[in-house]
Amino acid sequence: VNRYDLAIELSALTWDGTHFWGILDGSPSPLVQIDPDTRQVLATYEIPGYGQLFTRYTGVAAVDGDLYILLENRGPDESTATVLRATP
């Protein structure tokens, strides 16, 4: 078992074979790339078109060079989910 202590609060984490990718729910730049050796954030990414008020970022998965980000859309009458594909 390896242990990685990070100085940020993540709501989701995945591994792409090279880096960790995390979700910081409630952040204007919720997608973060993390160096596994230094445990430092290398880059942050915004997700255009999805605001913090009606969207909660709940998951991330790395598959074949792409990231799949799970969002919970909160509306006045119902909640729905959206999966976004991003190529970093």
Task: DSSP for 32-56, please give it.
Answer: EEE-TTT--EEEEE--TT--TTTEE
Q: Among 39, 42, 38, which Cα is nearest to 7's?
A: 39
Q: Indicate the pTM of the whole model.
A: 0.82
How large is the average pLDDT for residues 34-61? 85
Beta pairing partners, 44: 32
Do the Cβ atoms of 37 and 50 come closer than 8 Å?
no
pLDDT value for 65:
93
* The residue type at 43: A
